[in-house]
Every structure is written in C-alpha cells, then in structure tokens.
Amino acid sequence: MSTPGFDELKQRLAAFAAERDWDQFHSPKNLAMALAAEAGELLEHFQWLTEAQSTALTDAVRDEVALELADILLYLVRISDKLGVDLVAAAHRKIGLNELKYPADLARGSARKYDQL
Amino acid sequence: MSTPGFDELKQRLAAFAAERDWDQFHSPKNLAMALAAEAGELLEHFQWLTEAQSTALTDAVRDEVALELADILLYLVRISDKLGVDLVAAAHRKIGLNELKYPADLARGSARKYDQL
Amino acid sequence: MSTPGFDELKQRLAAFAAERDWDQFHSPKNLAMALAAEAGELLEHFQWLTEAQSTALTDAVRDEVALELADILLYLVRISDKLGVDLVAAAHRKIGLNELKYPADLARGSARKYDQL
Amino acid sequence: MSTPGFDELKQRLAAFAAERDWDQFHSPKNLAMALAAEAGELLEHFQWLTEAQSTALTDAVRDEVALELADILLYLVRISDKLGVDLVAAAHRKIGLNELKYPADLARGSARKYDQL
C-alpha cells in the first residue's frame, strides 16, 4: 500500500499540532474528552440500525464511518504520545491478559464472553 | 521493541474471537457500543483531575490508563476488520483532510482550532 | 408515590456536595465528563444484547440499569444547576423544536426519522 | 414557571414517537446508544475549554449546552419509560446509597471523593 504506516502517525500528528500551536490544548484530560466525543459520533452512525444493517453499510456510509474511526485513532495516538505510552505494546499486553482471563475452552458459550473482546 | 507490531493486532484479535465463538457478538453496531463504553472508562480516570494533574500521572495510574487506551485500540482494530476498513490508511487520509481544512498560518490562534486535532 | 419528586433533586445534590466540600470538583467541564462516563456504563449493560433482549431484562438487570440511569440524571441535574439552566424547560423547548423539525405526516417512514427522538 | 413540568415529558415523548411510528426504533439498546451519542455532543462543547472557562459560558453557548442537556434528558426519560423504570425514584434511591457510601465527615478531603457525585 502506498500510504505510510502506523508508526508515521505519531510524528505527523505532533507536527500538525506544533505548526498550529495547539499543544496548549492537548492535555491528556482534554484529549480523552475529544476521543470520547468522537466515539459518540461513531455511535450516531449505528444507533438506529439493526445489527444486520450494521454489517451491510453502503460504500458511502462505510466511508463516513472509516473517517470517524480515523478520528478516534488519531486522538488515541496523540494521547498515548502525550502520556509516553507505547500504544501497540499495551494492546498486545492487553490481548495477552484477556487470553489468560478467558481461556478458549471455558469462555466458549460462557456468560463471561459478554465481558470482553 | 520485542513486542509484535500494529499489523499483528488484527489477526490476533480475529483468532481470539474465533477460538471463543464470539464473532456472533461482534456486529459493527455492538463493537461501536463496546468502544464507546471503553472511552467512558478512559474519561473516569481524568474526570476529577485538573489538566495539569492529567499531565503528571503516577506510574501506576499511567499503566491503568495505558490498558484503557489498549482496549479502545483493540475495538477500533476489530470493528475496522469487520467493516473492511484500512484503519491506518483512513487515519492518514483524515490528517491530510485536516491539513487542508486548517492551514497552519490561518489556524494559529483561530477559534477554529477548537474544532479538531 | 412516597419518594420526593424531581424538584427535590437539585437541592439534595447541592447539599450533598456542600457537606463533602466537593463543589471544587464540580466544574461544568468535569461534570460533563462524569456524565459521559456514566453513559458509557449504561452502554456496557446493552452492548452484547440483541435489541429484543434489551426489551426483556431480568428484574435484577433492570434494577442495575435503573441505577445507571439515576447516575446520569444526577449529573444532568447537577451540571444544569451549576450552569443556571432550567433543565425541564429546556427539554420541553427541545421537544417543541423537534415537533417543528419532524412534522408527523412527513417524518413517518422518512429517513429523517433516524435523526432524532 | 409557565412551561409544563417533568411529569409531562414522558407522555409528550411517547406521543411524539407514536405519531411518527418511531417506536420500532426505540429499543432500550438503541436509546442507550442515542443517549451516549448526545453525551458525546455535550463533551464537544467543553473539551477545549479550561475548567474556569466552562464556568463562564456566553449566553449563546450556554443556550446551546442547555439544548444538549435537554436531548440527554429526553432520551433518559424515554428509555426509562420503555424499561418501566421510575427515573426520579431511582435517582433519590441512588443519592441515598451515596449518602451511606460517603459519610460527610469521612468523605471530606478523602480520595474516595473522586468516586462519585
């Protein structure tokens, strides 16, 4: 793919904020709010759809949803950068914790399946 | 870094869900709800902190926050996979749109700075 | 009903905060975050349920949900008090605006029905 | 006050939905999503403001915020009606539980103050 990868996002966002003098607004508290607000915009796309409809979006709607998901990722990368968190390493660590918490043979068909990814 | 990277998350999550027979619960609608619920958990860590306090978390709290950010990323990767969205490409596309929408020279000090990353 | 009504909530919450010296934490910004975090907890109760299941909760689950709804109302009343907003008057005003925006005869079966209550 | 009160909201919303044949969309699951999406819109008004700025909104902004708070209350009343929950009674019950959980003399200055209203 011709687009740059995940690792380029952090630096590109840092430059974007620096060039606009927006770092002053990017406290972790404020970025957490902005991320949650974007998650709310994601909900708006799905709130009146059935689950089945949500699996069969038109190309136009899927494109809008893709940009909402992008907004969430951008704030996620930005807040991680501001906090000094290695986001991808934390994600792999969390999957590992979930694998221990929900053993495949026990979790299958268990109510505990409702708890997590 | 010794941990696997971003590209490994999608397959690892798909396998995690398949082994537990949880795909049945992972409609885009449901995953959007789960993502927003995790964003709410992120807010809980910051809601009573000042902005200054949010920039100086203890290691213990930052570690808890890192796992909340991880949860959000996991749902973000999962819903993107289910929708057939290239999340990283969409993120770079969105930054490009923001660069056009907020020219650095005009955005600096502008009220429009409040609108976006 | 033997419980006090809606109008008693504002004063009871103000006294609750004053007695604990918590007003210092109750800026509108912080209260908005706390309200959104509670909305996230509400989502958690429904995220893996089908729509049909969400209409047939057990008494135990409905009771848990009732307390989540209560938390949201408490923050809503508290932030309205802090902002000097008459919450109930604003709600009636908003319904009036929606009645004008979505005329019953036009809205029935219209895609615009997805936009609002 | 010349406007109708809290108790009139439930019936007015039920009539509004019935006249537009929107009950079909108002499952508790969907209403919880719509409520959380409105909470996200509330966050947008405050995310780049300091706490001090959030306490001194212009009349124009406070009016916009009032309508966001109204949207949240409308969904809160609607979901409570659909679930058969007495929202105000639940709110008073919750304050009572908080009064027991956070005794005024112990909660003052305690870290536990961060947990609740």
- Interatomic CA distance for residues D93 and D97, integer angstroms: 6
3-state secondary structure of C58: coil
Query: Which residues of chain A have a CB within 8 Å of the CB of C114?
Result: 48
Tell me if D2 sits within 8 A of C89, measured CB to CB: no
Long-range contacts of B50-57 (CB under 8 A, 24+ apart): B50/A29, B50/D51, B51/A27, B51/A29, B51/A30, B51/D50, B51/D51, B52/A27, B53/A29, B54/A27, B54/A28, B54/A29, B54/A32, B55/A27, B55/A28, B55/A82, B57/A28, B57/A83
More confident residue, A112 or A30: A30
Indicate if the pLDDT at residue B117 is higher than 80. no
Model pTM greater than 0.90? yes
Contact A62 B79 (CB under 8 A): no
- Give the DSSP letter string of C39-50: HHHHHHHHTTS-
- Interatomic CA distance for residues C29 and D57, integer angstroms: 11
What do you get for the CA distance between the two ends of chain D, in Å? 28
Contact A72 B69 (CB under 8 A): no
B113: its two tokens: 């700075």
C residues 4-63 lying closer than 8 A (beta carbon) to B: 25, 30, 33-34, 36-41, 43-44, 46-48
Contact B73 A86 (CB under 8 A): no
Query: Which residues of chain A have a CB within 8 Å of the CB of D39?
Result: 40
Task: State pLDDT tens for residues B77-106.
Answer: 999 999 999 999 999 999 999 999 999 988
Q: What is the DSSP letter of C109?
A: T
Tell me if B98 sits within 8 A of A73, measured CB to CB: no
Query: Which residues of chain A have a CB within 8 Å of the CB of C113?
Result: 48
Task: State pLDDT tens for residues A53-68.
Answer: 999 999 999 999 999 9
Instruction: Calculate the alpha carbon distances from B87 to A3, B20, D71 in Å.
Output: 11, 25, 31
Q: Tell me the ipTM for this assembly.
A: 0.92
Contact B1 A89 (CB under 8 A): yes
Indicate if the pLDDT at residue A22 is higher than 60. yes
- Give the DSSP letter string of B48-77: TS-HHHHTS--HHHHHHHHHHHHHHHHHHH
- Interatomic CA distance for residues D99 and C13, integer angstroms: 10
C32: its two tokens: 């908005």
Dihedral class, residue D86 (left if φ above 0, else alpha if ψ from -120 to 50, else beta): beta
Q: Is B70 on the interface with D (CB under 8 A)?
A: no
Burial A85-97 (b: 16+ CB within 10 A, else e): bebbbbbbbbbee
Indicate if the pLDDT at residue B112 is higher than 80. no
Task: State pLDDT tens for residues D39-78.
Answer: 999 999 999 999 999 999 999 999 999 999 999 999 999 9
Q: Is B106 on the interface with A (CB under 8 A)?
A: no
- Interatomic CA distance for residues B73 and A88, integer angstroms: 8
Closest C-chain CA to B37: C40
| d(CA D60, nearest CA chain B) in Å | 15
- Give the DSSP letter string of C12-61: HHHHHHHHHT-GGG--HHHHHHHHHHHHHHHHHHHTTS-HHHHTS--HHH
Those chains having 3 or more beta-carbon pairs within 8 angstroms of chain D are: A, B, C
Contacts A–D by Cβ distance under 8 A: 41
3-state secondary structure of C110: coil
Digits of tens for pLDDT over chain C (117 positions)?
456 899 999 999 999 999 999 999 999 999 999 999 999 999 999 999 999 999 999 999 999 999 999 999 999 999 999 999 999 999 999 999 999 999 998 877 554 545 555
| d(CA A47, nearest CA chain B) in Å | 7
- Interatomic CA distance for residues B9 and C13, integer angstroms: 45
